[in-house]
A and B are shown apart, each in its own frame.
Chain A
Amino acid sequence: MTLLEVKDVTVRYGQLTALRKASIGLDEGETLFVTGPNGAGKSTLLKAIAGVVSPREGEIRLDGRRISGRAPEEIARMGFSMVPEGREVFGGLTIEENLRLGVGMRADKDQAERDLEQVYAVFPMLRERRDRHAGVLSGGQQQMLVIGRALMAGPRLMAIDEPSLGLAPKVIDDVYAILLRLRDKSGLTLLIVEQSATRAMLTGGRMILMRSGEVALAGDARELARGDTLRAAYFGYGDH
């Protein structure tokens, strides 16, 4: 069943067109990687879904309901959870407060408590520092915090903008192990902006390549990452 549908979405920042009639579809339980050069519009795509920027044209549907034009908090409450570019932890709040922020919209508080325990189990480092200000965490630790925070919202669809950025390879492995476990166990649908083709290959799923605000290429992550098509499309030559 289609969970997310982005149809012919155009986003402009003033004169600059960051997304040009971009379309993607995402089934329940599926993983979609978004890759492409800097400035291709990957983060803009995620922001448009989150409702932080509003599309000039086109529409976005989550679970069949139109979300384009709605407020970010409403979209979040419909089951969309986002880890934006640049992490965005609340440095003045404690780690536990950061985690609990995402819980507000959930009806089942007991389940939320269990999820908090689970996040702590996955990231013991966060539990040890639960009462410290999040501002003191290192970059990698902040990344763990924001992923944990996004999970606390109990999302159906989770979008992550460059989870690997600035993380040690070992930590990247850990982060992906957790995401995959969630995908397999609770059917979490993932939309991941990722520059590393190898990572997409290891994880599997579908992949799109964006260039100049357009979806230039779409296909199976493993197949695309293996061949030369991706490279060619990435750098914009060998258009076919």
Chain B
Amino acid sequence: MTAVLQILFDALSLGSLYALGALGIALIFGVMRLVNFAHGDYIAFCVFALLWPSIDAAAIVFIGKLPSLILIPLVIAIGAGLSVLSEIVVFRRFRNANPATMMIASFALGFVIRYFLLMLYSSRPKSIDLWSNLSLPIEIFGARIPLLQVITICTTIVVLLALTAFLKRTRFGLEMRAAAENFTMARMLGVRANNVIMLAFALSGALAAAIGLILVTQTGTVDIQMGVSVMLVAFIATVIGGLGSLTGAVIAGFLIGGATVLMQVILPVDARPFRDAFVYAAVIVTLIWRPNGLFAPKSAKQRV
């Protein structure tokens, strides 16, 4: 029983990270048909922002020293700000370009951010002690679960509920859903394209910041590669969920997280090092079965 609980929490917390990442990508894809490959680098940027720029091996903690109540909103604002800035400076020029061009532009932007960080901080991973006491386990029904896992899962649930309420209950949310479905028609009804797109970027960047904070607490390191593996899975999750579907992205994120943890448990010991091969095989089978993803939106109209 306790083992099952442990597996469940492992699966949910890993799935949470993937779900948050997938959501960040799906939000922008929804309104712009852009797959933003720079998303992983937003995560790294937010994490590095905790440190003072220096190429020394030892980290000089800067923002990371602030009390949590200031630190968390500040890092989220940094993520949102960077994301919005990249929209204004880069992606806005590609509004009417084809999706492949936009994708390449996002790759390039990702590299620019990455090398900018390398220049300021060098390529050596640095260690940082951010809320390390959260890694201590707490007892839930006899199982010893790291507190951070519980916090990660709760944060994700809160984020998902808040985002749902925002999309369903507010004027801006309504406009975003309409724009995601048929951008041109939404504009003909007076929905301001720039506002909706900037908002999507802000939300997406805020999600990247949240992932960065969770990762850095988990690993205790600041590394340029930080966002890469989460983002790779998050991209896959958005495709499996059905590009353009927010719900699909979240569910697929949790499914992949669950599958990964489950494989780790049920695979024979010899096969465990190859766990990811099994996970991705499952991904391929899913895509052959449902090429448009599990929850493909019915009407994903191209924007003009």
A interface with B by C-beta (< 8 Å): 50, 52-53, 71-73, 76-77, 82, 84, 88, 90-93, 97, 100-102, 104-105, 135, 149, 153
Question: Is A104 a contact of B181 with CB atoms below 8 Å?
Answer: no
The winner among B175, B191, B297 for most chain A CB atoms within 10 A is B191
Question: Is B178 a contact of A73 with CB atoms below 8 Å?
Answer: no
Mind listing 7 A-B residue pairs with CB under 8 Å? Answer: A73-B191, A76-B187, A84-B185, A84-B188, A90-B182, A101-B175, A101-B186
Interface residues of B, dominant DSSP = helix
Question: Is B178 a contact of A72 with CB atoms below 8 Å?
Answer: no
Question: Is B174 a contact of A153 with CB atoms below 8 Å?
Answer: no
Counting CB contacts under 8 A, is B285 at the interface? no
Tell me, rounded to whole Å, the shortest Cβ–Cβ distance linking A35 to chain B. 23
Question: Is A91 a contact of B299 with CB atoms below 8 Å?
Answer: yes
Instruction: Report B163-207 residues with CB < 8 Å from chain A CB.
Output: 171, 174-175, 177-178, 181-182, 184-193
CA distance A209 to B299 in the complex (A): 34
Counting CB contacts under 8 A, is B93 at the interface? no
Q: A101: which of B191, B193, B304 is its contact (CB, 8 Å)?
A: B191
CA distance A102 to B178 in the complex (A): 11
B residues less than 8 Å from A88 (CB atoms): 182, 185
Tell me, rounded to whole Å, the shortest Cβ–Cβ distance linking B244 to chain A. 10
Question: Is A90 a contact of B185 with CB atoms below 8 Å?
Answer: yes
CA distance A195 to B182 in the complex (A): 27
Residue of B at shortest CB range from A135? B298
Question: Is A104 a contact of B191 with CB atoms below 8 Å?
Answer: yes
A residues less than 8 Å from B192 (CB atoms): 73
Question: Is A73 a contact of B298 with CB atoms below 8 Å?
Answer: no
Question: Is B304 a contact of A52 with CB atoms below 8 Å?
Answer: yes
Residue of A at shortest CB range from B245? A92
Question: Is A90 a contact of B181 with CB atoms below 8 Å?
Answer: yes
CA distance A104 to B187 in the complex (A): 11
The winner among B177, B181, B189 for most chain A CB atoms within 10 A is B189
Question: Is B184 a contact of A52 with CB atoms below 8 Å?
Answer: yes
Q: A52-B184, A52-B304, A92-B177 are in contact. Are A104 and B189 (CB under 8 A)?
A: yes
The winner among B171, B182, B187 for most chain A CB atoms within 10 A is B187
Tell me, rounded to whole Å, the shortest Cβ–Cβ distance linking A78 to chain B. 10
Q: A73-B192, A97-B177, A97-B178 are in contact. List 6 more A-B contacts (CB 8 A).
A: A52-B188, A71-B193, A73-B187, A84-B188, A90-B186, A101-B191
